[in-house]
Amino acid sequence: MSTPRRWPIPASQDPFVNTPLVRVGTDASGTEWFWISTWNAASATTGLLVSAEGDHRRFSFEAPHWGFYSAVAEDVDTLWLCGDLSRVVRLDLRTGRYETFATGAPAALVFAGMAFDPQTGKLFAAAFPDPDRVAFSFDTRTRRTVRLYRNVVAELYQTASVRRPDGTVSHLVYNPDIAVLHWDPREETLTPALIGERLLGLELPYSNGQSGI
């Protein structure tokens, strides 16, 4: 049975945990691992690698890495993290070391839903660097951005991504409408579809289209 651990919390509203719990994978011993992290604008984020049995490892980051709402596993030893559209972070779960790579995109808060395509090794994420809507495709093998997409749809925030049987990815973004970005990592194309207008025949104005929901 695992033993509960306590960590000191600064006298502020940070850190808080509102990032998704992400499955990392199963190691050679058959142990299944998961990742979760804090958002901490006071002293940078902290991440935890936890197992289904309660074992865990702690990972500390330095400024300006305040938090990572998006995390995807390349393999059981490697995570790619993103909290700001201008950069991605590669974390080695064996050593705890991390590297930061610029994407060439403007700085903007990135929410959950970054996609990873294991066949091409590419990442895809979208955000709202006011006044634009920008997405990047980043090659984790060459450590370089493949393409930046600008203003493909009016929607502001990503929330999820799903790999399809044909190798493409459906990337969900929302506000003011709900849209799906169909990303083809092999052909490097991005095709939008508004769910509210095209599928439901409805307008779904979640807000006035400004940065607040």
Find the domain containing 191 and state its range: 22-199
pLDDT above 70: residue 8? no
pLDDT of amino acid 211: 35
Please check whether residue 3 lies inside any domain of the structure: no
The rounded distance, in Å, linking the Cα atoms of 91 and 7 is: 22
Give the torsion through C-alpha atoms of 36, 39, 43, 47, to 10 deg.
0
Please check whether residue 5 lies inside any domain of the structure: no
Please check whether residue 1 lies inside any domain of the structure: no
- Count other Cβ atoms within 10 Å, centred on residue 42: 13
pLDDT of amino acid 193: 82
Please check whether residue 70 lies inside any domain of the structure: yes
pLDDT confidence of 73, banded at 50, 70, 90?
very high
pLDDT of amino acid 104: 97
pLDDT of amino acid 168: 92
pTM of the full structure: 0.85
pLDDT confidence of 7, banded at 50, 70, 90?
low
pLDDT tens for residues 9-54? 556 556 677 788 999 999 999 999 999 999 888 889 999 999 988 8
Please check whether residue 13 lies inside any domain of the structure: no
Please check whether residue 34 lies inside any domain of the structure: yes
Q: HSE, CB side, 13 Å, CA atoms: give it for residue 174.
A: 15
Please check whether residue 205 lies inside any domain of the structure: no
Tell which residue, 159, 152, 5, 137, has the closest CA to residue 80.
137
Please check whether residue 208 lies inside any domain of the structure: no
Number of domains the chain is built from: 1
Distance of CA 129 to the CA centre of its chain: 16
Tell which residue, 174, 180, 181, 179, has the closest CA to residue 207.
174
| Burial readout 85-118 (b: 16 or more C-beta within 10 A, e: otherwise) | bbbbbbbebeeeebeebebebbebebbbbbbbbe
Q: What is the CATH number of the domain that holds 122?
A: 2.130.10.10
Q: What is the SS3 assignment for 148? A: strand
| Burial readout 180-192 (b: 16 or more C-beta within 10 A, e: otherwise) | bbebbbeeeebeb
Which of the pair, 210 or 32, is modelled with greater confidence? 32
Tell which residue, 138, 162, 153, has the closest CA to residue 196.
153
Asked whether 210 and 142 are in contact (CB, 8 A), the reply is: no
The rounded distance, in Å, linking the Cα atoms of 206 and 189 is: 27
pLDDT of amino acid 19: 86
